[in-house]
Amino acid sequence: MIFLIGFMGSGKSTIAKMVSEKTKYPYIEMDQAIEEAEGMKIRDMFASKGEQYFRDKETEFLRHLKDEVVLSTGGGVILREENRVLLQEGTVVYLKAEWETIVERLTGDTDRPLWKGEDSEKKKRFDERLSLYEQAADVVIDVDQKTPEEIAEEVMGRLK
Ligand SMILES: Nc1ncnc2c1ncn2[C@@H]1O[C@H](COP(=O)(O)OP(=O)(O)O)[C@@H](O)[C@H]1O
Ligand SMILES: O=C(O)C1=C[C@@H](OP(=O)(O)O)[C@@H](O)[C@H](O)C1
Ligand SMILES: [Mg+2]
């Protein structure tokens, strides 16, 4: 299993699809799998059931994952220790982006419930998570100023 981790906007979903094509392992989007299982958009789940409910669904999803897949995780998957342990079942690839890259990519995004509020609040969330991504990662890939194709190729090279 190949797990892509990183902050919102780091490119997990984009790169996971490309790595799936290159490896022939099926691509799974964890957010989408949870949305389908719950019959509800992540944004609505956060609003009506709360963040912890969504976090429980993330953990349940990881507990039941068995197949060889390329999984695009949600940016907050590293928050729980149990999740970080479960991720060790596969190769964890951290797509590491500078704050400026994230802002550039997510300006105007209204889909992500935790991408909201003051810049300082978002930056604080980013800073607080950095060490958790590093801790969980088997492979770290810098994604700033690279095309998706370059990043996907770099991931492939590092999987060997
Ligand atoms: N290497 C890249 N260069 C430029 N834009 C990118 C790159 N990777 C992703 N993007 C864009 O950034 C946004 C966030 O990417 P996405 O794959 O959804 O990230 P994540 O799943 O980590 O939140 C999307 O609009 C995507 O097209
Ligand atoms: O960082 C987070 O806590 C989250 C990131 C989202 O996924 P992306 O990283 O694909 O945006 C999604 O799982 C949810 O909105 C929470
Ligand atoms: Mg995504």
CATH of the domain at 128: 3.40.50.300
Mean pLDDT estimate for the chain: 97
Q: Is the pLDDT of residue 66 over 90?
A: no
- Nearest-CA residue for atom 7 of ligand 2: 74
Specify the pLDDT at position 160: 79
pLDDT tens string 97-125: 999 999 999 999 999 999 999 999 999 99
How far is the CA of 139 from the CAs of 3, 26, 28, 102, in angstroms? 10, 20, 19, 20
Give the domain extent around 121.
2-159
Whole-number percent of the chain with pLDDT over 70: 100
Span 76-91, mean pLDDT?
97
147 lines ligand 1 (CB under 6 A): yes
pLDDT tens string 128-143: 999 999 999 999 999 9
Rounded Cα gap, residues 93 and 77, in angstroms: 13
Confidence of residue 58 (pLDDT cuts 50, 70, 90): very high
* Residue 105 is labelled as binding a ligand: no
Q: Is the pLDDT of residue 12 over 90?
A: yes
5, containing H or E segment: strand 2-5
Atom of ligand 2 nearest to the CA of 29: 10
Choosing from 3, 14, 42 the residue with most ligand 1 atoms within 8 A of its CB, the one to mutate for a pocket test is 14
Q: Is the pLDDT of residue 41 over 90?
A: yes
Total number of domains constituting the chain: 1
20 lines ligand 1 (CB under 6 A): no
Ligand nearest to the CA of 4: 1
Span 52-71, mean pLDDT?
96
Specify the pLDDT at position 55: 98
ipTM: 0.98
Residues contacting ligand 2 via CB (< 6 Å):
8, 12-13, 31, 42, 74-76, 112-114
**Beta carbons of 8 and 99 less than 8 angstroms apart:** no
* Residue 55 is labelled as binding a ligand: yes
**Beta carbons of 62 and 84 less than 8 angstroms apart:** no
> What pTM did the predictor assign?
0.98
| Cα 126 to middle of ligand 3, angstroms | 15
Span 12-35, mean pLDDT?
97
Rounded Cα gap, residues 141 and 45, in angstroms: 31
How far is the CA of 116 from the CAs of 70, 86, 139, in angstroms? 28, 29, 29
HEC secondary structure over 62-127:
HHHCCCCCEEECCCCHHHCHHHHHHHCCCEEEEEECCHHHHHHHHCCCCCCCCCCCCHHHHHHHHH
